[in-house]
Structure 1
């Protein structure tokens, strides 16, 4: 509490650590925070008993309730029995004056269940904010359950008839992270995608500071004005960016042939102990320094030979592309997106270095773009750039068909759209976070210059998987995880 007060915090929040996992500690912290004049909040599955809820309710100001579903089966899959306690607690928390928000993962197989859940929440209050977390199939998860951004946006429209404030996450470029006035439909607060499970509030002079819509004067259930200062996290700071950093280190080690998780933990401890995350963040954005990371990790765990073999293969492919690069006037301008066409990846990111290594000119480097991993631009800005090619990120991606349709809808009239030169990767993890980006580089070179490069990418992927992972390559078994090469890959036991 002393640290929170010293740093001029307005409150304390338990986010990745559910109060239920550390209940006595949470109560002590919450009590101390309240006595210090700080707000207290948490994310929780809210599977409290009635007596526990009675104990915790007076100590919290806000809560995000992660609902697993609207059926007994959804809770039994998570080790519970029924959704009933959660629904009871949402109602009681709301009635007690706690600010309640609800979040739920959206999959292809639970849309009707979520529609029923939102109808139930609306009966408590249509003003309860509802967050749709578009499913990201990581680790061994089923990739067929991932809904497209386009399908998720269509489903969002169904829920708006029931609830006033619905938000769609994990969908870069969507407008549905914004707060719309339920009276006139105007944007009240604008937000942008900010990594998995994240969003970032835009602060402007037009942002309301009261509880009424500045366009139609409708009163809204806003508890407090937006923060006056925008906090900017550092590289790999925050919950999910930090875990992504760990996963990227893990990806390199697995490609070296590490099958014992203890060696991964050993490298994590060294890098974190030396406060090396900012350097790691810089070095993974450049091809040559990325290869140096591989060598360094090899030395840390006594696998120099394996690291040298991996680097030699990657350098050979990079050099073979570089030796045949066309003259600069014949290199197409490439625009790199994540999710939807107006979500522009930052120019300094690794994906744009791959563009230039494959014989393209990065249009993203001409855009004043911030955010993490990028931000929205206007159709007017994109039309002025007029890139000849669009590449879609291999993470949180959309199909080429969906990107084309969205370009037409948004008024994007560029050469890439006219000629339908919109490309997605054959598999996830091929452009960032994992050494598998070397496969993506070969694929990109083929797409940008089919008259020069003729890599058999499928055969290269098969060889790469055989040599470095000891398994066959199957695009159907590759999920969104940076680290694991397949949903069949497992750590050694014992």
Structure 2
């Protein structure tokens, strides 16, 4: 009879190579040892399968504008602090009824029905469902579709041998260059496997783009990473993700958009193509010819970690080139421009933000463990209610109805009524205070930089109108999500008297003001320095904390009538609905969690 050690088996999927006892699971919980064979525990189950543009993945230099079927499961082989996908990698039950089962053949058929050029796994790592990924990839290749994924790149050598022949493109998220940083993410062999795999993918002809987070204290690591990538190929695009502090992440590590842009100017001395993400209004998502400076592709911010292709101008059959000087554009494949639009809360990370909004409501009504949130997620997903959710969170009255409805789903009607009534009473007080003012100021709502305009139908503009303001955003027809960049002349024509900057992807009002002056944006709000962002992050959309943003907006728009003590209101709100003290230094950009120290008492694993 074999002893316990002999019945154990190493997991062959990721570089951690967990030693799994018979009947046990590895660290990630997605693989088990069944009679000496390591097998996937939850195969062929998807939380999300929907068509997206390749820039949502994001990939910028691979068949620009192509349509792919996004596939997302749950779980991850890593456990990164401040993960933007926490709700699906840590909190969604992997055996949830919200996950739908599709065979590889059904996945590929769905991609074909939606007119997709390929399939791609993203939002959580394909290493969490590797056998499923491989099976889908084989079926996709057999039908002439392309195969891609976004991954932390921690493939074992054995996994690399399986995936390289099937993979056309990959976005590899590098967690930094220190072994200790990787170990904090559960990458126990440090960074070297990732750098090895980037090189192996590139040498095998797989299209590789690399993403890395920029924090206040890691500019040196990004410069070192750029130097390393240059030794592999200076043509590898580097996506610099400006840090959004979510979950348990330190809010003090968030850099200004200006700081990330300045770093990327330096990084372009090493690499041909460096891009700035998570920075609405930046022009550093555009592709520029490295020879003559011609702008070859124009893109806009498209939600966290995403980009939207606006225009591409390259010539010839692959490899495509600059139409002005003929220099190669550094893109794989021909571009495609179409009118296809992704649905609300589908495609990329806006989906996870939607789940966070639901979670924020449950936490504010006193939910004690993650399973209560999961049950509401399941209701919405199983009944195809995500589009309704997007509609219902755009008005305060509908929001209060949602609170009561979610409370009824989890048996917390009394707590839900208390929260909904509080929101309604505060909203009515603001409305009455502001309604008596004779002047209704013209208000512009931006996100990040001055020229990124939030869409008129969004919740933030509803708050402006509750404060007896005129939302100039509603005067524009805008696409994109959560809005789009507008021209300088358009903003001057709107001539707002007050400007608000989103409290999610925000900016310093002083830096914002300087950028307006630098761009010659001569409007009343700039002349009078009436530029504001809420002192409470993520308090003007999504979370019930929007009521604090509403009171702040009233103060800014009608200081003669509204004099809310926002710090006092925040302390009372946190004490009443979160059962804890309010520490402004501990609040980050998370919609869901009250502060960076908050944890579920009973997590779902």
Shorter-chain TM-score: which interval? over 0.9
What whole-Å deviation, never above 9, does each CA across 1:59-93 have from its counterpart, x for those lacking one? Answer: 11111111111222222222222322222221222
Is the 1:127–1:164 contact (alpha carbons within 8 Å) kept by the matching residues of 2? yes
Is the 1:439–1:460 contact (alpha carbons within 8 Å) kept by the matching residues of 2? yes
Give, in angstroms, the shift of residue 228 of structure 1. Answer: 3.4
Question: Map of 1:58-457 to 2, 5 A cutoff?
Answer: 58-79=165-186, 80-203=188-311, 206=313, 208=315, 210=317, 211-326=320-435, 330-457=439-566
RMSD (CA atoms): 1.6
What whole-Å deviation, never above 9, does each CA across 1:295-345 have from its counterpart, x for those lacking one? Answer: 111222222222222222222222222223356761111100110010000
My pick for the range that moved more, 126-135 or 270-279, is 270-279
Give, in angstroms, the shift of residue 207 of structure 1. Answer: 5.4
Matched, 1:13 2:120: yes
Query: Which of 104, 111, 136 matches 1:29?
Result: 136
Task: Indicate the SS of the match to 1:281.
Answer: helix
Give, in angstroms, the shift of residue 209 of structure 1. Answer: 5.9
What whole-Å deviation, never above 9, does each CA across 1:18-56 have from its counterpart, x for those lacking one? Answer: 332223332222222212111111112222333432332
Give, in angstroms, the shift of residue 10 of structure 1. Answer: 1.2
Task: Indicate the SS of the match to 2:434.
Answer: coil
> How far apart are the structure 2 equivalents of 1:325 and 1:377?
29
> How far apart are the structure 1 equivalents of 2:562 and 2:182?
51
Tell me what 2:12 maps to.
none
Matched length: 493
Tell me what 2:66 maps to.
none
Is the 1:203–1:230 contact (alpha carbons within 8 Å) kept by the matching residues of 2? no
My pick for the range that moved more, 318-327 or 131-140, is 318-327
> How far apart are the structure 2 equivalents of 1:230 and 1:348?
21
My pick for the range that moved more, 72-81 or 99-108, is 72-81
My pick for the range that moved more, 104-113 or 2-11, is 2-11
Task: Indicate the SS of the match to 1:102.
Answer: strand
Is the 2:395–2:462 contact (alpha carbons within 8 Å) kept by the matching residues of 1? yes
> How far apart are the structure 2 equivalents of 1:273 and 1:24?
25
1:474–1:6 Cα change, 3 Å: same
Question: Map of 1:49-60 to 2, 5 A cutoff?
Answer: 49-60=156-167
> How far apart are the structure 2 equivalents of 1:58 and 1:46?
16
> How far apart are the structure 2 equivalents of 1:209 and 1:434?
48
Tell me what 1:470 maps to.
579
> How far apart are the structure 1 equivalents of 2:546 and 2:316?
46
> How far apart are the structure 2 equivalents of 1:493 and 1:262?
8
Is the 1:188–1:208 contact (alpha carbons within 8 Å) kept by the matching residues of 2? no
1:431–1:207 Cα change, 3 Å: farther
1:95–1:488 Cα change, 3 Å: closer
Identify unmatched segments of 5+ residues in structure 1.
none
Is the 1:251–1:483 contact (alpha carbons within 8 Å) kept by the matching residues of 2? yes
> How far apart are the structure 2 equivalents of 1:37 and 1:348?
40
Give, in angstroms, the shift of residue 492 of structure 1. Answer: 2.3
What whole-Å deviation, never above 9, does each CA across 1:198-230 have from its counterpart, x for those lacking one? Answer: 0111146x4546411012221223221112324
Identify unmatched segments of 5+ residues in structure 2.
1-107
1:438–1:216 Cα change, 3 Å: same
Is the 2:140–2:146 contact (alpha carbons within 8 Å) kept by the matching residues of 1? yes
Task: Indicate the SS of the match to 1:492.
Answer: coil
> How far apart are the structure 1 equivalents of 2:131 and 2:336?
30
What whole-Å deviation, never above 9, does each CA across 1:396-453 have from its counterpart, x for those lacking one? Answer: 1101011111111222111111111100111112100011111111111111111111
Is the 1:107–1:145 contact (alpha carbons within 8 Å) kept by the matching residues of 2? yes
> How far apart are the structure 1 equivalents of 2:333 and 2:354?
34
Give TM-score, length-normalised by structure 2. 0.79
Task: Indicate the SS of the match to 1:394.
Answer: coil
My pick for the range that moved more, 240-249 or 8-17, is 8-17
Which of structures 1 and 2 has the larger relative contact order (alpha carbons within 8 angstroms, sep 6+)? 2
Give, in angstroms, the shift of residue 161 of structure 1. Answer: 0.8
Task: Indicate the SS of the match to 1:263.
Answer: helix
What whole-Å deviation, never above 9, does each CA across 1:273-314 have from its counterpart, x for those lacking one? Answer: 221111111110011111111111122222222222222222
